[in-house]
Every structure is written in structure tokens, then in C-alpha cells.
Structure 1
Amino acid sequence: MNVEKFIAARKAAGMSQKELSEGICTQATLSRFENNGQVPSLKILIKLCNRINLPLVDLFSSINVVNSQLDEQLEKAEFSLITSEFEQLAQILEKIDPKTIKDADLRARYYYLKGFEMVFSQAPFTDVLFHFDQLLMSKTTDTVFQLLAYTGIGIAYAREAELEKAEVYFDKVFSEIYTYPIQTTEDIWRVLNIVFHCGVFYAQTNDLETSNALLNYAIAICSENHLTYYLARAAAQLAKNAQAAGEPASVILELIQDALAFAKINKNRLLINELNQMKKQL
């Protein structure tokens, strides 16, 4: 609720708290509303707004509209992340000033997306860490954002070839991600992001057993929820793991073909090109 707008309207009407509250409510009730955001009953609020000629809807609309628009932008940004459209992700986030974001969950969502955008755009290591630190310091109560921060920091360390440090963060995630309750579509996207990148990391450290288990878990989540976006990437990483394990060419080719089919559905051009190169090298 936009209390500041209410206060501005009262002052514009030239009324003190005592004058405005007279005959409607106690001055203490009005004071608690203006100073602490304690909203009085709807009947009282309507009378107060009418006295200062402030439409009640104005108290609700501005912040909610801003949050709604921001949520829509961030949803587009998050979809760009899961489809690996990193340039589009950067363009969307470039138009958002995090200093203007008041809602804790929206701010956390911004920093999670910005952190991953910086990882995939090869931004300086310290800049990546800064954005994930902002995410860890956010006041959101949704624990998935903490797990996303750990995942992002792990990826950043892995790209610096600091695999032991990276493993500290991936182990934190690994111990908790299987029990995280998936309730919304956004939860699915975020859990898949985490599980997939954990799978990629453990492949990088040649722990193919753990990597395959995580990637197959990602595929199971996709299948259960009828999603294809991480399906192609997980299947592609399984093909790479099979290649690293020295599996027969026929097994690797079957995995590549599966990944290609999913990648074509998603129109993931980068992955399609990468998989075709893998086929040629068999």
C-alpha cells in the first residue's frame, strides 16, 4: 500500500493528522497507519481518503502496477536464462535499476538473474561474486535463492579453475536440493537450473556417477512436469559423460540423437550446432 501517497494527499489538503482523523478514528490510529503502515479497517480508510479527495485505488495501484510490470520483465528474463538466450537476458536486465526494487523477492530474483547473466557473459570474477553476495544478503524467505547463489558462485569458481572452492558451494547445494519442495513453475525452472549445473560441475571433476544421477534427476523433473528446456541440455551432458567414460559410439550417438530432438523442439541453435559437431567427431 502506498502510504507515502496518502501522506502527500493529506498535506496537499492542508490537514493535520488530528484534523483528518476527527470524527472518523483516533489520531493514534491514523498515526500508526502513516508511521508504521498499520492499515485501519476498510471503512475507516475509505472515509479518510474521501476527506482528502484521494481515490482509494490510488493507494494500491502504483506500487502493484510497478511490481506487476517488473515481475513480467523478470519472468521474460528468467525464461531467456532457461532457453540460453543470454543476449536477450542481458538486454532485459539492462533496463532494470535494482535500486528501485522495493519488494524483497523481486530484488532477489533480479540479483539471481543478473549473477547468472554475468557468469555466462564472462564478466570479471569479482563482479559475479558481488551480485551473488547481494542475493545472499537479500531478505527473501525463499531458500531456493540461497541455493541459486551457491550454484552461481560454484560455477564462477569452476570457471577460474578453482575446483576445490567450487566444490564447497556445490556440496552445499547437493545436500539440500533433493528435498526442496517444488510448488510453482518458477520453482521448477530454478531447481532444474541448480540440478543441471551441479551435474555439469561433477562431470568437470570426472565424478561421472554423481553427474549422471543429477542429470537423470533433471530429466525426470522435466518429464513429470512436461518441460523440454533443460531436457535437451541434460541429455547433451549425458552424451558428453558417455564419451568421457569411453562408452561405445552407438550409445553416445543415441544420446546425441535424443538431445538433438529436444534441442530442435526448443530451437536451441547453439546446442544443435554443438551436438552436430559431436556427431562428426564420433
Structure 2
Amino acid sequence: MELGKSIKYLRTNLELTQKQLAEGICSQSLLSRVEQGLEIPSVIIVHNICQKLDITIDTLLSTSQLDSPFIQLKKELQELFLSHDFETLYASLHKKTLALFETHSQATHYYFYLGVCELLYKHHPQNAIQHLEEALLLNAQRTTTHETLIHSYLMLAYFEDNNDINALKQLNQCLLFLHKPVEAFPLMPTIYLNIARAYANQAENLTAIEYLHLGISCCQKQNSTFQLSHLFFELGVLFIKTNRKQSGIRKIKFSLELSSYLDEQFVTADLTKRRKLLY
């Protein structure tokens, strides 16, 4: 049963569906039973699963300790990322050694978080590019939501660094992913948000608005509020830019009320600061 939990943890950590992991190895129903602890997989299946997850069997077995310090650390870092507390996230990353992540084949996540912090907290796009490129290089699974998430932040970093050519290459990777049939994941609204910001950066405001609406729709489908405040705020900004000032002001006001209601203190602080610069 612990083995099944470990497989599920590693699969979801890479944002793979059961169908994606099972493909070429076993049936999806068998994988589901394994993850539920209802069936013991053969050695061959375990070996193939480890290969697809890009880990050793020893790593899989060690992950069975679901309350291990590393698992707890990963949860803490993810919570800081989801709450937009990039200052604490940045400090936490520098307190922990990269070797700890490398031991668990998770270095891609270390560099991803570090890159996002360099971009959104330290405002060092060149450092962000370096770390996010490293995260892409170390990402074991391709065409996943996690990889596209990296592309979306890398795109913003390149735009911030005035490197439009590479930024547009990253945007293209994000669009290629979204044009394929994909299952919804909790961080999907972030990809829509970042794409909208990229189009807004190119003054393609109507296209940016379209992707913000897609992000809001994604939140509704997932029954999630993650990034919803940011999506409405950006929508308000673009409404103002497209001569719909009153509607834009209402959207911005709603985004602040929403972030306050959801107790998103770091989001509220950020949006309040940005509103003061607008009007």
C-alpha cells in the first residue's frame, strides 16, 4: 500500500495523469488499483514505472516514507508558492542545499521556485532565466503542465530582459501545449495568466483579455480560487487600456475584495500597490 502511495505521490508531483504514466506499461485501471494499494505490481511494472518517472527503485522505496523531512519541505515550499509569499520562499530555498533535491531527483523544482523568486521578488530577469532554463533542462517529463509552467515564467523573464525573440519561442511552447487535449491541473490558471501578460506586453490587449477569460473559466471548472484575484485584476487593467475605464475599475475593485475575502495577504498587498500606480 505504501508503494502505491509513493507512485501516486511521484506521479502527481510531475503532474502526470494515471493514463499518461500507465501508457506503454500497464492498463490505467491496474495503475489505479496499485495506487490504492489493492494490487501489488510485478517487478517489471515497477521497473518501467521508475524509468518513466526517471528515478531509481531505491528512490521509489525511500519515498514510501510519506512523512519524510523532504516531503514536508516540498509541501512547505509549494504552500509558499501558492500563497505568493516569495520572500519566505526565497529565504527557504537558500537555507536548504540543492543536494537534498538532487538526491530525490527533484532539482527541477528547486530551480523553478528559485527562478520564479528571482523574477517576481528580486526582479532579476537574467538570474531568473538562468534558473528556469536549468529547471527545463532537468525536467524529466516532457509536455507536462509543470514543463509548460516553466516555459510561461521563462517567457515573462525573457520579455523583462527585452529578449523578445526567445520570449516568443517560450510563448509558442505554451500555446502548443494548450492546443492539445489536456486535463485540468491546479496550476493551469497560472499558465493562462502568464500568457495573457505576455500578450499585454506586446500590446495585443484583446488576445490578452481572451486568455484571462480562459484562466477564469479554468478556475471555475476546477472550483479553485488560485490566481483568480490576479486574473480579475489584469482584466481590469486591460479594460482601462481599451477605453472601458469604469468596467476596469470595477474589476480591479472586485479583485481586491476577492483577495481580501480569501485572506490572500501577499496578493492583496501586491494588487493594492499596483492599483495606486494606475489611478
Q: Give the TM bin, normalised by the shorter chain.
A: 0.5 to 0.7
1:117 aligns with 2:120: no
Is the 8 Å Cα contact of residues 192 and 215 (structure 2) preserved in structure 1? yes
- Residue in 2 that maps onto 1:188: 186
Aligned mates of 2:227, 2:165 — CA distance in 1: 26
- Residue in 2 that maps onto 1:156: 157
Q: Which amino acid aligns with 1:217?
A: L
1:268 aligns with 2:264: yes
- Residue in 1 that maps onto 2:92: 92
TM-score by length of 2: 0.68
Aligned mates of 2:127, 2:160 — CA distance in 1: 14
Aligned mates of 2:91, 2:64 — CA distance in 1: 24
Is the 8 Å Cα contact of residues 163 and 205 (structure 1) preserved in structure 2? no
Aligned mates of 1:255, 1:124 — CA distance in 2: 30
Pick one of 195, 199, 214 that aligns with 2:196. Answer: 199
Secondary structure in structure 1 of the residue aligned to 2:138: coil
TM-score by length of 1: 0.67
Is the 8 Å Cα contact of residues 126 and 157 (structure 2) preserved in structure 1? no
Question: Relative to 1, partners in 2 of residues 1:170 and 1:65: Cα closer, same or farther, differing over 3 Å?
Answer: same
- Residue in 2 that maps onto 1:23: none
Aligned mates of 2:59, 2:150 — CA distance in 1: 35
Q: What is the number of equivalent residue pairs in this alignment? A: 223
- Residue in 2 that maps onto 1:232: 229
Q: Which amino acid aligns with 1:131?
A: H
Question: Relative to 1, partners in 2 of residues 1:112 and 1:80: Cα closer, same or farther, differing over 3 Å?
Answer: same
Please identify, of 212-221 and 138-147, the stretch whose mean Cα deviation from structure 2 is larger.
138-147
Report deviation, 1:124: 4.2
Question: Relative to 1, partners in 2 of residues 1:39 and 1:156: Cα closer, same or farther, differing over 3 Å?
Answer: same
Q: Any stretches of 5+ residues in structure 1 without a counterpart?
A: 1-37, 41-57
Aligned mates of 1:90, 1:122 — CA distance in 2: 9
Please identify, of 258-267 and 119-128, the stretch whose mean Cα deviation from structure 2 is larger.
119-128
Report deviation, 1:179: 3.0
Is the 8 Å Cα contact of residues 186 and 224 (structure 2) preserved in structure 1? no
Report deviation, 1:180: 5.8
Q: Which amino acid aligns with 1:267?
A: D
Q: Which amino acid aligns with 1:154?
A: M
Report deviation, 1:136: 1.8
Of structures 1 and 2, the one with the larger relative CO (CA 8 A, separation 6+) is 2
Q: Which amino acid aligns with 2:222?
A: N
- Residue in 1 that maps onto 2:129: 129
Report deviation, 1:207: 0.8
Which string of whole-angstrom CA distances, capped at 9 and with x for unpartnered residues, describes residues 49-104 of structure 1? xxxxxxxxx99875544884323322322232232211121133223322233333
RMSD (CA atoms): 3.2
- Residue in 2 that maps onto 1:10: none
Q: Which amino acid aligns with 2:249?
A: L
Aligned mates of 2:273, 2:111 — CA distance in 1: 34
Question: Relative to 1, partners in 2 of residues 1:194 and 1:180: Cα closer, same or farther, differing over 3 Å?
Answer: farther
1:173 aligns with 2:174: yes
Q: Which amino acid aligns with 2:72?
A: E
Is the 8 Å Cα contact of residues 111 and 132 (structure 2) preserved in structure 1? yes
- Residue in 1 that maps onto 2:49: none
Is the 8 Å Cα contact of residues 129 and 154 (structure 2) preserved in structure 1? yes
Question: Relative to 1, partners in 2 of residues 1:181 and 1:96: Cα closer, same or farther, differing over 3 Å?
Answer: farther
Report deviation, 1:140: 1.7
Aligned mates of 2:190, 2:202 — CA distance in 1: 19
Q: Larger Rg: 1 or 2? A: 1
1:258 aligns with 2:254: yes
Aligned mates of 1:128, 1:279 — CA distance in 2: 27
Question: Relative to 1, partners in 2 of residues 1:133 and 1:271: Cα closer, same or farther, differing over 3 Å?
Answer: closer
Which string of whole-angstrom CA distances, capped at 9 and with x for unpartnered residues, describes residues 129-167 of structure 1? 332222222252252232223222211111123334312
